[in-house]
Amino acid sequence: MTADELMSIMDNPNLISGIYNYCDRWCERCTKTDRCSVFLTTPKMDPENFPDEESYFDAVFQSLHDSFLISMELLQRSATEKGIDLDDISTNPDLAQIELNRIEVRKSPISNLANDYVVIGHEWFNTCADSLKALEKSLQQADQMNLPNRNPKKEAADLRNALEVISHYNRQIYVKLIRAQSSRLEDVTTFEKDEFPKDSDGSAKVALIGIDHSIKAWEVLWHHLPEQEDTILPILSLLDSLRNQTEALFPEARDFKRPGFDE
């Protein structure tokens, strides 16, 4: 894609500004792809269309490189239009403060809890194969027996959906909570008055949505795998605690209006 092609996509009045900032990045399930500039300008690369992993990653890095060049070209064009000499701009970020903020955010109780959930989630997926195989077999048998009051195909679909939901949000919750807390530290100086919606609240809301969906998904697993109660109940308890702590730390987050989704 060239810079001009990118600009013609960006000129589409149907696009929703900033919709991609507070979505859950689950583009395959998103109902707003035709209104999202990130989706429309991101090359679609399916690993299955490449002969091997190496050629897939080569293509991904080439795409990133091309995007960077286009961004630089557009930045240069905009600077020229506004009479700005990019070489004259001096930046002086307070790197020491940024590092201190990063450390503070990563060691906070809420970050630790979210990270615990990432680890526990991974562990569960690494050890669930036998249980899921047994469950699959029992659903197939139920399907063949045509039992009354059972719908094994729907049960299998619900189960698959629950696994996909847990997998999709497992790490995203942590990432969004890190961003929410980092933004909170910046909000203190940027938004001294409560006039603007805060990025910290928007990010916390996306984390909360991920937690809500994940809790429902684990409940589906618990229903299908009652023998795993001792494993799944502590996970549900952790997520419930994470939800409560997030709501306490970001009391305005649930009211944040995400462009394109809540308006």
Instruction: Please report, as ranges, the residues that interact with ligand SF4 according to CB under 6 A.
Output: 19-20, 23, 25-27, 30, 32-33, 36, 38-39
State in angstroms the smallest separation of the CB of 176 from ligand SF4.
Answer: 13
25: left (phi over 0), alpha (psi -120 to 50) or beta: left
Place of tokens 């109940």: 233
Nearer to ligand SF4, 208 or 221 (CB): 208
Contact 256, 205 (CB under 8 A): yes
Nearer to ligand SF4, 30 or 217 (CB): 30
Q: Which among 161, 166, 160 is positioned nearest to 214, based on CA atoms? A: 166
Distance CA 229, CA 243 (A): 21
Nearer to ligand SF4, 140 or 161 (CB): 161
State in angstroms the smallest separation of the CB of 207 from ligand SF4.
Answer: 15
State in angstroms the smallest separation of the CB of 137 from ligand SF4.
Answer: 35
Distance CA 51, CA 34 (A): 30
State in angstroms the smallest separation of the CB of 192 from ligand SF4.
Answer: 30
**Looking at residue 149, what DSSP letter applies?**
T
Nearer to ligand SF4, 25 or 102 (CB): 25
